[in-house]
A and B are shown apart, each in its own frame.
Chain A
Amino acid sequence: MDHGKKKDAPLKTADLLDSKCTRRSFLKGVSIAAAAGSAGLVTGGCGSVASSEEAKLKWDEFFKKNYRMMTQEEKDATVARLERLAKLQRGLDTRISTQEPLDNVLYGYAFNITRCKGYMDCVEACVQENNLDRQSKTQYIRIFEMDPGQLDPTSGDGKYYHEVPVEDKFYMGVQCFHCENAPCIKACPTKATWREPDGIVVVDYDWCIGCRYCMAACPYWGRRFNWGDPVVPKEEINTKQHYLGNRMRWKGVMEKCTFCVQRTRQGKLPACVDACPTGSRVFGNLLDPDSEIRFVLKNKKVFRFREELGTDPKFWYFMD
């Protein structure tokens, strides 16, 4: 949608002049063009001035480094470009954070399979918080409706669509398990995905080449690919973003749950934990002996999914 408009921009200059070109944006366009020293662009009208600025920003974006190789100045520069691009392309004021991991923090997650009733408020909150593609109905979290006598979510029904809870069923949520020994990280040919010091497995969307080897390597189906350009209605876009988290993605790149890095590094809970009406989701710092997650690990019977693969997930299931 946005991209369609962009492509047409040079052709429909007259339309743009009518509809979009206010005096202020025109003057701003002129000043930018003048600064760029290309007077010819001005005659093209404000539409092409904006798109030439956009082209310049995209050009610079194309040649930037992997996030982990950037200095703080370079990070600030790319954030400034991305925020400006969001303004130009979507007319949105976004804030993209590059906040570093907090000291002495290792995130862990526990899921109470006794309590979860399958309401899927977590899924909804995750979609909203992380700007997930509405077109393909991308979800990081999936809830499986399980029959008693089973503990393997692959035996459950991940597509249930009826009133919950159902008698004699229980519910099991899965998402990226943020493995300590993550097969996806090993697989990536460009080091576009890695584990942060606080245990969050992240993707540098700009660095990902879209080969999907990580997807084949993940034993938990924790990764999602953007087959087309993701669509999020403008009014629903969450503008509080993180470079490694919920900033807008585009076609051809991999994405995944980031434990809501934009929230958790500010001391908040992930959106799914916040949204859960039954308190089935426990999140916290594994290095803090007084945290709730440590209490669960110490006092409950816990297990992990596919422990035999040696991936060492930071996601446990437990029951009351």
Chain B
Amino acid sequence: MFVYEKSKEEMMITNPKKGLVAFILDCIRWTLSGGVAYYIYLAILLVIMGAGIYAYGQQFQEGLIITGMSNIVSWGLYISNFTFFVGVAAAAVMLILPAYVYKDKDFHEVVIIGEGVAVGALVMCLLFITVDMGGPLKVWHMIPGIGLFNWPSSILTWDVLVLNGYLALNALVPFYILYCNYHDRKPVGWKYLPFVFLSIFWAVSIHMVTAFLYQGLPARPFWNNPLLGPRFLASAFAAGPAVIMMVLIAIKERTSYPIDTTIFFKLKRIIVVAAVINLVMLFSEVFKEFYTFTHHSLSAQYLFFGLEGHDSLVPWIWTAIALNIMGTLLFAFAPTKSSSSYLMVAAVSLFTGIWIEKGFGLIIPGLVPSPMGEVVDYTPSSYEILITLGVLATGVLVVTMLIKPALVILSRYKEGLKQPEADGL
């Protein structure tokens, strides 16, 4: 993912001037500097984003009719991905909590990477919501004051609040820390620590509220289930750290930034616990749906076995379950293995499994059968897939643009701390 090499001397070059402008210019410079491989990586992202923008242009002109959605499956790939990436965003708390509450040094080293991933995930979430809207130019109708904000009645308004709040927390805290480090200052605790602790609670809230979006609808028995919120959290705390692990492996392999292997053991432990809890809850749900097969189990029937000849989700969900179990087992056993490729396989399989299960494996069956009992299949259109890929590429680009300068600043700051000792000798 992060294909760039960088000599230390180059890193040291800074704007002699200090201040916000110099900070931003240096960040841009560090983001844009890299080897050929890095530029190819950036170019690929930009091409995918371009394709997504083109497809969105079409959707903007023609309407959502060019997607695979219908009056029955009225939410599709966009909302599925939105739901999943809220979880990824929330998972930053799995680094923040040990780093700040338990003062874990290893987590402290990488916490900024977790926050960068969270910001990228939130950008994706907000973009997915925007591309899903029929009238994106009318978003201002939701802004309190000039529009009408149906708060507290509509859970969607809660989601708007918590997602934007979490984005602000996860963008401003690292910004402050990096800004201080850039100027060779130690960040002042009272200025940012309250926000760090706030963000821990906030992380839980973004995912619970997103679950409540679905959980609060008696019209949809598949979602109207008190386990949905807790299960969202468990799967998020498995899939999110898996993403962060993937990013950490990429950084470890591709840059000179030191990442201690103990961090992988610690992350692995978190992932295993969360993944096992997730599987237990999944099993509990499957038991409830199929032991006493009621009218409300039709969605689960559609998801796992197909209904009335419609079975487009069946191969996906079984693949997801297989990947889920495989990823969990890979992380759980061979606990001493920390080879990058081994961990990468485990992380990718767990991530993909949860992405399917909690993405369209959750959203589509909630809408099928329709409240009038009709069963249809949903296949995303190529435009829809292009737009989705475009949003994903945007998120990856944002993460790159945040983490790359952050690592340079942190390395320089650490070097700077060592410097006075060397001078003293």
Whole-angstrom distance between the Cβ of A206 and the nearest chain B Cβ: 8
* B374 interface hit (Cβ, 8 Å): yes
Contact stretch, chosen from B149-157, B190-198, B280-288: B149-157
CB neighbors of A among B215-231 (8 A): 217-220
Residues of B within 8 A of A209 (CB): 133-136, 138-139, 141-142
The residues of B that contact A228 with a CB separation of less than 8 Å are: 62-65
- Does A216 belong to the interface (CB within 8 Å)? yes
Q: Which residues of A contact B373 (CB under 8 A)?
A: 153-156
Residues of B within 8 A of A218 (CB): 219, 371
A224 within 8 A of B: yes
When each residue 44-85 of chain B gets 1 if its CB lies under 8 Å from chain A and 0 otherwise, what string results? 000000000000000000111101011100110000000000
Complex CA distance for A253 and B373, rounded to whole angstroms? 24
Structural contact, A212 and B372, CB atoms closer than 8 A: no
The residue of chain A having its C-beta at the shortest distance from the C-beta of B154 within the complex is: A189
B219 lies within 8 A of A190 (CB): no
Please give, as numbers and ranges, the residues of chain A lying within 8 Å of B74 by CB-CB distance. 212, 215-216, 225
In the bound complex, do residue A66 and residue B133 qualify as a contact, i.e. CB atoms below 8 Å apart?
no
**Bound Cα distance A144, B149 (Å):** 38
CB distance from B364 to the nearest CB of A (A): 12
Of B69, B133, B154, B371, the residue contacting A186 (CB under 8 A) is B154
A187-B156, A189-B154 are contacts. A225–B141 as well, Cβ < 8 Å?
Answer: no
A interface footprint on B144-176 (CB within 8 Å = 1, 0 otherwise) = 000111100111110010000000000000000
Tally inter-chain residue pairs, CB-CB below 8 A.
136
Known A-B contacts A154-B372, A155-B373, A186-B154; A210 and B134 likewise in contact (beta carbons under 8 Å): yes
Q: Which residues does chain A contribute within 8 Å of B148, judged by CB atoms?
A: 66, 69, 190-192, 207
Main secondary structure of the interface of A (DSSP, over half): loop
Query: Which residue of A has the minimal Cβ distance to B373?
Result: A154
Interface contact B374-A251, CB-CB below 8 Å: no
How many residues of chain A have a CB within 8 Å of chain B?
Answer: 45
Chain B: minimal CB distance from A228 (Å) = 3
Residues of A within 8 A of B141 (CB): 66, 190, 192, 207, 209
Which of A183, A189, A216 contacts B150 (CB under 8 A)? A189
B75 near A187 with CB under 8 A, answer no
Contact A189 B160, beta carbon cutoff 8 Å: yes
Within the complex, the shortest CB–CB distance from A224 to chain B, in Å, comes to 6
- Whether A221 contacts B65 in the complex (CB less than 8 A), given A187-B155, A216-B220, A253-B134, comes out as no
Binary per-residue interface labels of chain A (169-204) against chain B in the complex, 1 for a CB within 8 Å, 0 otherwise = 000001000000001001111111000000000000
B134 near A212 with CB under 8 A, answer yes
Q: What B residues does A156 contact at CB under 8 A? A: 373
Which of A155, A208, A221 meets B371, CB within 8 Å?
A221
Within 8 Å of chain B (Cβ to Cβ): is A219? yes
A208 surroundings in chain B (CB, below 8 A): 134-135, 138
A252 partner, pick from B63, B217, B372, beta carbons under 8 A: B63
Contact between chains at A189 and B63 (CB < 8 Å): no
A303 within 8 A of B: no
Q: How far is the CB of B228 from chain A (nearest CB, A)?
A: 14
Interface assignment of B243: CB less than 8 Å from any CB of chain A: no
Q: Does A226 contact B (CB under 8 A)?
A: yes
The interface residues of chain A lying within 8 Å CB-to-CB of B214 are 216
B137 at the A/B interface (Cβ < 8 Å)?
A: yes
In-complex Cβ contact of A226 among B134, B137, B154, B366 (8 A):
B134
Q: B interface vs A, CB < 8 Å?
A: 62-65, 67, 69-71, 74-75, 129, 132-139, 141-142, 147-150, 153-157, 160, 213-214, 217-220, 366-367, 369-374
Known: A187-B217, A190-B147, A228-B64. 16 other contacts (CB 8 A): A66-B147, A136-B65, A142-B372, A154-B372, A188-B150, A189-B150, A209-B142, A210-B64, A220-B372, A221-B370, A227-B63, A227-B64, A227-B71, A251-B62, A252-B134, A253-B134
A–B Cβ pairs within 8 angstroms, 11 of them: A154-B369, A154-B373, A190-B147, A210-B138, A211-B132, A212-B132, A216-B75, A216-B217, A218-B371, A227-B67, A252-B133
A-B interface, 8 closest residue pairs, ranked by CB to CB distance from nearest: A210-B134, A252-B134, A154-B373, A228-B65, A251-B63, A219-B219, A227-B65, A189-B156
